Amino acid sequence: MCGIVGYIGAKEKKEILLDGLQELEYRGYDSAGIAIIEGEKLSNFKAIGKLENLRHKTEAYHSEGFGISIGHTRWATHGKPTELNAHPHLGAYSYVVHNGIIENYQELKEELQADGVTFLSQTDTETIVHVFEKFNNQINNPFEAFEKTIEKLHGAYATLLITEAAPDTIFFAKNGSPMLIGFDGEDVYFASSDTPIIGKANEVYYLEDGEYGFVKEGKVFLFNAEGKKSFTKQALTADKVSAQKDGYRFFMEKEIYEQSYVMTETMMGRVHDDSILFDELDENFFDGISAIKICACGTSYHSALASAYLFERLAKVRCDVEIASEFRYKEPLLTKDTLFITISQSGETADTLEALKMAKRAGLRSLSICNVDNSSIVRESDAAILTRAGIEKGVASTKAFATQTMVLWMLALYVGQEKKTLASDILKTEVAAMLKTPKSLVVEEKLHAQLTRMSKRYLHGHGFFFIGRDIFFPLALEGALKLKEISYFHAEGYPAGEMKHGPIALADSTLFTIALMPKSMHYDKIKSNVEELSARDATILAISPEPFELADDFIQTKYDSHPMLEYFEMMVVTQLLALEISVRLGNDVDMPRNLAKSVTVE
């Protein structure tokens, strides 16, 4: 959610900033901006919409010689996506970029306005630059002014500030939103994740919450509440696995097609003929654990919900799942025999990260399942299992969800194996099915073409219900979320057996029901539920290996012997359906409106 870059050095700054922002654009694309100070020369550009608009605006500009520079790509939180609300925000002689939310900005703003300060934007961020200048005008010491400024801020932030009062220095602070510093000799980079600086910097330091400081003449001066502190840099990979579309129309499409391959990566070295191994977990990791609690948001929450069935059914361990934003404020009762699992594609989701911190404060052992190594959630957890999905650029998550589900399935088997609650013949059957998963995820041209044709019949109506039972209920939730995110149609996931308890009142010919009807799990039950809907004239798209005569549309799946194989195969169908509906509607598939890839605000 929003992206920050910064650079101090003698290289051409505009290109460094724009290239960095390009890598972060999927995190927010309401507007973008850069500010550069070179000696006496100050340049600032902003543009609403995609980064290409900013590129266009800065075509004639080139930076020369030593300078300091900051850039930002925005996902609007306070104030509309306008140029005035775009970062960097300007004071009288300083610029600031910020990710996160300043919770007390209203109070700060009122104080400043009482002093005669005029605000140009509706953002919380603008208060930072004015508070800074207020202090600096009083004490004429930019670092002390910056230090006093961040003391005043409540909430989550990662921020960079440059000022004509110190034209050779970048000031930085991090609390609750990610930020790192990259190094290449005298050149110093900042970014809110490592992708913008891979290939530029060779070493990195991931800032911790509460750290702040400044960079001058290639040196970083780092502080926290205890005062000045030293830090250790770590090597940064030089491998830029920059996600390209490789001939696909959209990143999301490419990522759907990649699922088969990445699943093999996810299993590599972990799935053996009659056992599951996780090098990441030491052998005593589950000692004393008799329950599991999982917290996550959005799609990650759906993978968690599916896994709760597996933990209880396969590992015989009690498992409950909570939406992280709800968990945070419910004053949950936590006991130390509970393993606290967080699931996150990005590893930066604010609500999930805060839930994890709460669990840690309560003394719970923690495990994260994440796609991004070194992310905040991974670093905060006692142990982490990486999903190995590779960079996911489509805002609507696909392969990250698939690999999360796979890791959770493996983990359920692993827990059963370690606790000896899972019979070895069941383990073998599960592993045999698991090894077939990559095949179940292969997208066949014929299926894709069928869904492309079918999608034209689903461009109207008053809503979609995705229905399923057992693990297919969370899959229904996920199918509905995918469609909602990129088509902007109203879609809901429902447990099929619940329809008759209210939602069936909506049934008519323009209520589209996507029925997940696996053969290997409760087929007759869901069939009756779908028949009830069909009797009320709902339009039914059935997805099943078993032909279903009441279906208005039918997708015949191939797997019928193991629920997880049916699950993954049906998942692909729902993803492609959402994709093709979105394409027909002319929507931006990879960067749907109002969304961002990484939600680092609460």
Size of the site for ligand M6R (CB under 6 A): 16
CA proximity to 477, closest of 469, 464, 466, 488: 466
Output 314 or 480, the one with its CB closest to ligand M6R.
480
Instruction: Give 447-505 as a DSSP string.
Output: HHHHHHHHHGGGSSSSEEEEEESTTHHHHHHHHHHHHHHHH---EEEEEGGGGGGTGGG
Of 352, 381, 437, 529, the residue at the interface with ligand M6R (CB under 6 A) is 352
CA proximity to 66, closest of 26, 98, 38: 38
CB atoms inside a 10 Å sphere around CB 341: 28
Output 63 or 346, the one with its CB closest to ligand M6R.
346
Catalytic choice (2, 295, 297, 370): 2
Instruction: Give 205-243 as a DSSP string.
Output: EEPPTTEEEEEETTEEEEEETTEEE----EE--------
Nearest distance from C-beta of residue 487 to ligand M6R, angstroms: 13
- Residues with Cβ within 8 Å of residue 8, at least 6 apart in sequence: 67, 68, 69, 168, 169, 170, 187, 188, 215, 218
* Span from 74-82, 166-174, 292-300, 466-474 in contact with ligand M6R (CB under 6 A): 292-300
Nearest distance from C-beta of residue 383 to ligand M6R, angstroms: 18
Output 440 or 575, the one with its CB closest to ligand M6R.
575
- Torsion from C-alpha of 100, 106, 108, 111, nearest 10 degrees: 160
Q: Is 395 in the site for ligand M6R (CB under 6 A)?
A: yes
Distance, CA of 117 to CA of 445 (rounded, Å): 61
Q: Is 345 in the site for ligand M6R (CB under 6 A)?
A: yes
Whether 2 sits among the annotated catalytic residues: the reply is yes
Catalytic choice (134, 254, 527, 597): 597
| CA-atom Rg of the chain in angstroms | 25
Q: Is 344 in the site for ligand M6R (CB under 6 A)?
A: yes
Structure tokens at 221: 């001066």
Q: Is 601 in the site for ligand M6R (CB under 6 A)?
A: no
Residue nearest to ligand M6R (CB): 298
Whether 370 sits among the annotated catalytic residues: the reply is no
What residues form DSSP beta bridges with 220?
A: 215
Q: Is 557 in the site for ligand M6R (CB under 6 A)?
A: no
Helix (H) or strand (E) holding 125: none
Nearest distance from C-beta of residue 372 to ligand M6R, angstroms: 8
Output 126 or 485, the one with its CB closest to ligand M6R.
485
Q: Is 297 in the site for ligand M6R (CB under 6 A)?
A: yes
Distance, CA of 224 to CA of 131 (rounded, Å): 20
* Span from 23-31, 125-133, 291-299, 417-425 in contact with ligand M6R (CB under 6 A): 291-299
* Span from 82-90, 241-249, 394-402, 500-508 in contact with ligand M6R (CB under 6 A): 394-402
Nearest distance from C-beta of residue 223 to ligand M6R, angstroms: 30
CA–CA distances in Å: residue 104 to residues 110, 131, 154, 383: 10, 12, 6, 34
Of 298, 468, 479, 495, the residue at the interface with ligand M6R (CB under 6 A) is 298
Q: Is 349 in the site for ligand M6R (CB under 6 A)?
A: yes
Structure tokens at 463: 């809503």
Of 194, 380, 485, 569, the residue at the interface with ligand M6R (CB under 6 A) is 485
Nearest distance from C-beta of residue 303 to ligand M6R, angstroms: 9
Q: Is 300 in the site for ligand M6R (CB under 6 A)?
A: yes
CA–CA distances in Å: residue 276 to residues 15, 423, 489, 561: 47, 13, 41, 22
In the chain, helix, strand, coil percent, each to 5?
Answer: 40, 25, 35
Q: Is 77 in the site for ligand M6R (CB under 6 A)?
A: no
* Span from 261-269, 331-339, 340-348, 425-433 in contact with ligand M6R (CB under 6 A): 340-348
Q: Which residues bind ligand M6R (CB under 6 A)?
A: 297-300, 344-346, 349, 352, 395-397, 485, 595, 598-599
Q: Which active-site residues does the annotation give?
A: 2, 597
